[in-house]
Structure 1
Amino acid sequence: MFDWIQKLANWLVYDSLEMTQGTHLAKALNFFIYDTIKIILLLVVIIFLMGIVNSYFPIDKVRNYLSRNKLYGLEYLMASLFGVVTPFCSCSSVPLFIGFVKGGIPLGVTFAFLITSPLVNEVAIGLFLGLFGVKTTLIYIISGILLGVVSGFILGKFNLEQFLTPWVKNVLENSQREEAVFKAEKTPFIMRLPTIWKEEKSILKGVIPYVIVGIAVGGLMHGYIPEGFFETYMAKDNLLAVPLATIMAVPMYLNASGILPIVQVLVLKGIPLGTAIAFMMGVVGLSLPEAMLLKKVMTFKLIGIFFGVVTLCIIISGYIFNLIF
């Protein structure tokens, strides 16, 4: 499917620039050109398709629906699925999280959205398809959704509302609940296209710089770091590799578009896929900037519980991925 891109990259690097095959710089540049073209094309298609989905499931109406209907446990799955179709990183998901809490949605359900949204969205899906193929992408999507559902369900059972900040409690006590009815939009599809395209351009403008930086770092690693370098420290037979990778990721912060090209190279260099994905989930879903934003609505104790449960679920996911692949 992408053979023509590889041929183009080979022509640019080895024919046009007359670089010698096998050299570090040539390998790095070839990787950069190939992955940049492939990923941007995939992002354009995936973001457009998900834009169509978003246009039929507006945020405010999903929020109203979740807060007004008894779904017998399925609300965790719905919130997690909603996280999939929203193009937010962990930090930009926080304002929407606050809106969910203000709207009266149970805290566990809101956590399910907050966890899934930065991990699995159109950008992450597009990148995963290009970097790891359809099978791995499907498994990643399912595991990301389950991570949100399970973590949200566990957190919901702890009755953590007492650990919300006084600001949130005051908002909940004084808010007037609107009695809006959940209705489907009547706008014709053709009339939605300008808005969908405008949103796509906005998302692309925001993520492409991260994609390019991530691919550039990945290209340098691909070209200059010898095979087996990472495997020495994070091999599959090292039982502590997954938790170490997850914990080490927390101080870092990148969105999926920036970290996935680096994850690809880590896998190429010998790190097991589960360990690499656990590292990526830690970088994307557990970050210090996110913790600082969450301080507006959560006490430090609640932030600690949230991070602890999600970290445990990420580690379990990493081990499962290593068993599957």
Structure 2
Amino acid sequence: MQILKAIWDFFQGQILGMKWLDDLIGGSLSVMGLDLNSRWIGSIQFFLYDVIKITVLLCFLIFLISYIQSYFPPERSKRILGRFHGIWANCVAALLGTVTPFCSCSSIPLFIGFTSAGLPVGVTFSFLISSPMVDLGSLLLLMSIFGAKVAIIYVVVGLIVAVVGGTIIEKLHMEKYVESFIMTASGVDIESPDLTKKDRLIYAKEQMLSTFKKVFPYILIGVGIGAVIHNWIPEEWVATVLGGKNPFGVVLATLVGVPMYADIFGTIPIAEALLYKGAQLGSILSFMMAVTTLSLPSMIMLRKAVKPKLLALFIAICTVGIIIVGYFFNAIQGLII
């Protein structure tokens, strides 16, 4: 068991966490005669380390997940979802969401396509909640920061939120609140051509480059904010606002995250810095989930497809679910970290 633990610790620390990279950057800055205890130099080290680490993980994960995604084009996904009914359809939709785009704005066109193809609205909303919140990339990225237990539980509870949220919308019969042009659109079900392995590799490469160009500015912004939090904001401030002394830390973190626009890659460095400063785990994860699931631009896009009542219900379900998840993680933080 000790050997397995040592192997796992090495994988999590040196492969996923890339601690060797942090040491290398710190050593290089020291050789240049710079004081690592200086706030400015500490910020530079944090910025360089996180940008490089997240970029490497980003490119690897997008390439891998895009390759997997090539086996699940919209036409195939529609057929798969069409075979299931009831809560099982919501479960399958939530699982399919884990191998689709990384942000809510990218998920909404697929949501519209699934809805116009005649799939139940509750099922398509399970997909819409799951897709940005619990993609496979989040599993490995969270694992690199918080460890395997946190990452796995995060994905499981995220899927539960997606299934429950979609089921509620289905039970309330909210189909009439989808814009009529979506419901009356004729779904074109074209059989996707069989792709060779070379085609899939090319597709994965193109998706990697395209997604990287879109999210890299948010990585820079997120790491910049993380560097400021990490080296300039006193621990007492963070602990007071998002620590255990503030019972409303989860609610505050959720509300702050909603107006922002980023994805899991942009929020990871902020989460890392907040954890280091003493913020509670649940508050951090609630912030991340709110940013990735309820960003203002994606809500504007979704409003074009659904009427205000359904949009408000979707936001309410996600917000309540995220807050519950946050308090749940705060309650078990001592057991999993």
Output the CA distance in 2 between the equivalents of 1:43 and 1:251.
Answer: 24
- AA aligned to 1:85 is V
2:122 is aligned to 108
Same amino acid, percent of matched pairs: 37
2:202 is aligned to 194
Output the CA distance in 2 between the equivalents of 1:176 and 1:40.
Answer: 37
1:154 to 162, 168, 184: 168
Is the CA contact 1:43–1:122 (under 8 Å) kept in the aligned structure 2? no
Output the CA distance in 2 between the equivalents of 1:212 and 1:122.
Answer: 22
1:9 is aligned to 25
User: Would you say 1:79 and 2:87 are equivalent positions?
Assistant: no
User: Would you say 1:97 and 2:111 are equivalent positions?
Assistant: yes
Output the CA distance in 1 between the equivalents of 2:60 and 2:282.
Answer: 27
1:136 is aligned to 150
Residues 123 and 61 (structure 1), Cα distance of their counterparts in 2 relative to 1, 3 Å cut: same
**1:136 CA drift (Å):** 2.0
Output the CA distance in 2 between the equivalents of 1:269 and 1:11.
Answer: 24
1:27 is aligned to 42
Is the CA contact 1:275–1:318 (under 8 Å) kept in the aligned structure 2? yes
Output the CA distance in 2 between the equivalents of 1:176 and 1:22.
Answer: 60
Superposed, which structure 2 residues align to 1:1-325 within 5 Å? 1=14, 2-16=18-32, 18-67=33-82, 69-171=83-185, 175=186, 186-325=194-333
Please give the root-mean-square deviation of Cα atoms over the aligned residues, in Å. Answer: 2.1
Deviation sequence 1:18-56 (CA, Å, 0-9, x none): 211211111111111222222222222222221221121
4+ residue runs of structure 1 moved beyond 4 angstroms? none
Output the CA distance in 1 between the equivalents of 2:201 and 2:209.
Answer: 12
**1:104 CA drift (Å):** 0.7
- AA aligned to 1:265 is A
**1:291 CA drift (Å):** 2.0
The number of residues matched between the two structures is: 317
**1:148 CA drift (Å):** 1.0
Partner SS for 1:214: helix
Unaligned 5+ segments in structure 2 are 1-13
Deviation sequence 1:259-293 (CA, Å, 0-9, x none): 22112111111110101111121122112222221
**1:72 CA drift (Å):** 4.4
**1:105 CA drift (Å):** 0.9
Unaligned 5+ segments in structure 1 are none
Partner SS for 2:237: coil
